[in-house]
Amino acid sequence: MSKTNNSEVIIVGAGPAGLSAAKVLADTGIKTLVLEKTKKCSSKNFFSGIISEEPLKEIFTNFCDHSNGKIMAPFERFVDQYRAYILQEDSFTSFNVQNNKQNSYIVLREQFNSWLLKEAQKAGAQVITGTAAKELIISNGKVSGVKTDSEEFFANVVIISEGVNSVLTKSSGLRVGELRSNQIFTFVEENISLSSGVIEERFNLSPFNGISAKLFTQAMLGMPSIGYIYTNHNSISLGIGILFSELISKGINPNECLEKLKEHSCIKPLITNGTTKNYCSYILPAPSLKSQNDKSLKLFSNGCLLIGGAALIIDIFSWDVSTLAILSGKAAAQTIIRAKELNDYSAKTLAHYLPLVNELHEIPLQDDNLNMLNNFNESILQRK
């Protein structure tokens, strides 16, 4: 079984969080290995999403070509407008907030993550795909590597960036107990193809521009929920998240909620004649979780750090959910760079990660308009 493989840092999971950490570490010459369970990077999380230029372009410096300003990362459309739809039983209202700064992008995760991965590789990180980490290797009370189905890998530090469905985090005892059903939202998303012309006409957009929309509804079969639409180049992504405990107690399948949404008089005309291309499901922690969970989740231990979705460093209200994940990856990398200087990877040194994470939750949004929408967001959800 065990071939020995040594690196300084092992990163489990090539999502935005893990790849940001990998890039920062590789840039400083630290020998970094990324393990990703899917064959193509993040192909299971095919869905689309919003990526903000900050803080990504500081980490991935090839994000745009500095000589002519051209964006080098693969993206679908600029976010031209943020839109809120408020859906009532059979009517709706909507309002727009213009994004004049052209500083955020709609991306398809599979393409975008593959680009992040290549950039991390170019910086010197080693990446192995199609390989899941199954167990942490612990010796003398310190995490010293990971086991896969067929091999063992060793390092000074392991960063866990496996996302919210965190099997490794649970099995290693960094998260004690299972999340409860009233602590998570369950999301289902469908990708529907439409020609780019039809998308521009239906959403009133000029070419290359897109919208990021949130759908607020109090009438989704009587359950707290939040929906969203992203316009990709020639498809749209339509999704809805429902408080899981409500779904269970009402005995409803999440797909029923998505179908109800598709039939709504606001949504139906937007997707008519489209073709369903893909379907996925994922979970996100509910906003109430953070404070309750502090005791049951450890963000670091001897030789190990937790970042991104696995650390529940995610803000469900945000219009750009991966920024926090990316910043937590950067914070972990900075912590490790410091630990290397001290040649001490114990919990004592890695504890420097905590204040960096706490700072993340206090970062102000750059845009007042977005702030306004977010406050609106929060008040609607809390009212149910």
Partner 1 sequence: MVKTTKNTSDHLAKTVEEKLFLIKFCPDTESHVTVNQDICMLCKGKECTKFCPANVFAWSAINNRLVIGYENCLECGLCTIGCPYGSIQYNHPKDSFGRN
**One symbol per residue from 203 to 242: x for binding partner 1 (CB under 8 A), - otherwise; what is it?**
----------------------------------------
Q: Tell me the one-letter amino acid at 78.
A: F
CB of 170 to ligand FAD, least distance (A): 11
- Residue in 80, 110, 320, 367 binding ligand FAD, rule: CB under 6 A: 320
Q: Which of residues 26-65 bind partner 1 (CB under 8 A)?
A: 37-39, 43-44
- Residue in 66, 101, 277, 384 binding partner 1, rule: CB under 8 A: 277
CB of 15 to partner 1, least distance (A): 14
Taking the C-alpha atoms of residue 133 and residue 19, their distance in angstroms, rounded to an integer, is: 16
The torsion angles phi and psi of 7, rounded to 5 degrees, stand at -140, 175
Neighbouring C-alpha atoms within 13 Å toward the C-beta of 182: 3
Strand runs labelled E in 180-259 = 184-193, 209-217, 225-231, 235-243
Interface with ligand FAD by CB under 6 A: which range of 215-223, 295-303, 318-326, 374-382? 318-326
* Contact (CB, 8 A) for 335 and 356: yes
Residue 175 touches ligand FAD, criterion: CB under 6 A: no
The torsion angles phi and psi of 84, rounded to 5 degrees, stand at -115, 125
Residue 148 touches partner 1, criterion: CB under 8 A: yes
Strand runs labelled E in 286-341 = 300-301, 304-306
Asked whether the bond before 364 is cis by omega within 30 degrees of 0, the reply is: no
Taking the C-alpha atoms of residue 312 and residue 310, their distance in angstroms, rounded to an integer, is: 5
Q: Tell me the one-letter amino acid at 171.
A: S
Q: Indicate the DSSP class of residue 363.
A: P
**One symbol per residue from 142 to 171: x for binding ligand FAD (CB under 6 A), - otherwise; what is it?**
-------------------xxx----x---
90 binds, among partner 1, ligand FAD, none (CB under 5 to 8 A by kind): none
Closest CA to 255 of 236, 239, 267: 239
17 binds, among partner 1, ligand FAD, none (CB under 5 to 8 A by kind): ligand FAD
Taking the C-alpha atoms of residue 60 and residue 74, their distance in angstroms, rounded to an integer, is: 13
Residue 5 touches partner 1, criterion: CB under 8 A: no
Residue 111 touches ligand FAD, criterion: CB under 6 A: no
Residue 190 touches partner 1, criterion: CB under 8 A: yes
CB of 166 to partner 1, least distance (A): 8
The torsion angles phi and psi of 54, rounded to 5 degrees, stand at -85, 140
Residue 14 touches partner 1, criterion: CB under 8 A: no
Residue 285 touches ligand FAD, criterion: CB under 6 A: no
Residue 118 touches partner 1, criterion: CB under 8 A: no
Residue 328 touches partner 1, criterion: CB under 8 A: no
* Contact (CB, 8 A) for 182 and 244: yes
15 binds, among ligand FAD, partner 1, none (CB under 5 to 8 A by kind): ligand FAD
- Residue in 9, 11, 22, 37 binding ligand FAD, rule: CB under 6 A: 37
Residue 217 touches ligand FAD, criterion: CB under 6 A: no
> Considering beta carbons, is residue 101 or 348 the nearer one to ligand FAD?
101
Taking the C-alpha atoms of residue 337 and residue 333, their distance in angstroms, rounded to an integer, is: 6
For the packed helices 322-342 and 353-360, what is the interaxial angle rounded to 10 degrees?
A: 160
CA distance from start to end of the chain: 53
Residue 224 touches ligand FAD, criterion: CB under 6 A: no
Residue 322 touches ligand FAD, criterion: CB under 6 A: yes
The torsion angles phi and psi of 212, rounded to 5 degrees, stand at -115, 115
Task: Give the footprint of ligand FAD on this chain (CB under 6 A).
Answer: 12-18, 35-38, 42, 44-45, 49-51, 132-133, 161-163, 168, 187, 228, 241, 284, 308-310, 314, 320-322, 325
